[in-house]
Amino acid sequence: MQPVDSRHRAMQLPESGQFCGKQPAAAPSATKASRTQTAERSDPETGPSLARKTRAQLARSSAPFQAYNSRHAPLLPLRWFAPQMGQSPMLLLAGLCSMRTRPLWQREERPFGSAVSSLADIFSTFDLSTCITLLSFIENTMSQIKTEDELMLFEREIKEFWTKFKSICGCEQINQTLLLRDSCKESIKTFSEKWSRKLKEGDLMIAKIQEYTAEILQENKCIAEKQENLAQTKSKIKQEEEQKKDLMESIRLLKEELIRKKEILSSKNKATKERVERLCKSKALFEERLALEIRRIHDEQLQFIFRCIDHKDPDKPFIFTLSINDQGEYEVVSCSPALDCMADLQLKVRETNNFSAFVANVRKAFTALSYK
């Protein structure tokens, strides 16, 4: 887009004497109302309100310059009033209207609305330095306007210049606007495609994150179940360890009891072995000297058979059966022939534990019985 200053330099401004020459006079029959309507129709975009606002602004802005509004006051340079105007082109235009010595276009019966409206539109297009240059040109031209016809011609020229300016700059601005619009559309399309891809990538990323989140939740659930199972297993292991401890204690006690019983059994076996040895010796002795036969019968019982007792019949047997009861004592199971003194002999052997004497006493009893 071409800068505002370059556009202004490309324009060819009219010379100041253009409005001072002999021009065809306009019809002087225009009334105040027609001029007001012309001023209101000067800008189709704003309508009557702009003309009224412009006249009001001119009236307000002219106050600081009334001190220079005498008939013979010289024209002051515009650059003196630029700081007081707040660097506004409209206020500079208002200052130009107030510094002149009541020209025709400033009279109450001939307000300068239409030209001001066009000039306001023109000045709104340029920067401050360009507006000051234009105002200097307009100032030099207006200082030579003397009649109302020249004023109307000046207004017409301003309008024609504004129309031509709008047609030239408007097309260029439209073309530049269209190019800018196309460029913006292309940029927007490019950014839209780019961000669409990024949005799709973001959606995929969100989907993956959700999937990973679901997997993590499932894994956490499995971990929680496994931790619960592990806690239960630990509790069972602890109980089993306590049971094992109790069992080990029981086994230790049983082992101690077993050792004790083994010791007792060993001692009993030793005593039994000694007794068996004694019995074997006694058996041999009894068989040899007393004609005694000892037999082992059922239920761990011993049968004693005596012979050579009855002199009439030496082979006649005299028998008694002996066993050891649960208390470990001798007990006579049977006796043939029966002896009345067997109970006393049994009691005596339990007291003295002298088995040889018991056997000898039983033989004596059978011998005494044979002589009866």
Q: What is the DSSP string of 290-355?
A: S-EEEEEETTTEEEEEE-S--SS-TT--EEEEEEE-TTS-EEEEEEES--TTHHHHHHHHHHH--H
Report pLDDT for 285. 76
Give the separation between CA 186 and CA 20, rounded to whole angstroms: 53
Nearest to 42 by CA among 112, 114, 96, 99: 114
Alpha helices in the chain, H assignment, sequence order: 4-10, 32-40, 48-61, 89-99, 113-123, 128-142, 148-289, 342-352, 355-370
Q: What is the pTM of this model?
A: 0.29
Nearest-10 Cα torsion for 170, 120, 40, 56: 160
Give the separation between CA 55 and CA 37, rounded to whole angstroms: 14
For the CA atoms of the chain, what is the radius of gyration?
76
Nearest to 114 by CA among 13, 43, 14: 43
318-324: strand order across its sheet: 292-297, 301-306, 318-324, 330-336
* CA distance to 76, 99, 204, 320, 349, per residue, from 285 (Å): 178, 179, 113, 18, 19
Report pLDDT for 214. 93
From the centroid of its chain, how far is CA 211? 13
Report pLDDT for 201. 92
Give the separation between CA 96 and CA 101, rounded to whole angstroms: 11
List phi, psi (to 5°) of 235: -65, -40
Report pLDDT for 174. 66
Give the separation between CA 66 and CA 102, rounded to whole angstroms: 11
Q: Which residues are CB-neighbours of 287 under 8 A, at least 6 positions away?
A: 293, 294
Report pLDDT for 119. 59
Q: Return per-residue pLDDT of the chain as tens, 372 residues.
A: 333 333 333 333 333 333 333 333 333 333 344 444 443 444 443 444 444 444 454 444 444 333 333 333 333 344 333 444 434 444 444 444 444 334 444 434 344 445 555 555 555 555 566 667 767 777 677 677 778 887 788 788 877 877 776 676 666 666 777 788 888 889 999 999 999 999 999 999 999 999 999 999 999 999 999 999 999 999 999 999 999 999 999 999 999 999 999 899 888 888 888 888 887 887 777 677 767 888 888 877 888 888 888 888 888 888 999 888 888 888 999 998 888 899 999 999 889 888 888 988 998 898 888 887
Nearest to 320 by CA among 299, 344, 347, 292: 292
**Tokens in use for 155?**
């207004």
Report pLDDT for 225. 93
- Domain annotation for the chain: domains and CATH numbers: 4-185 (no CATH), 290-370 (3.30.457.50)
Give the separation between CA 284 and CA 293, rounded to whole angstroms: 9
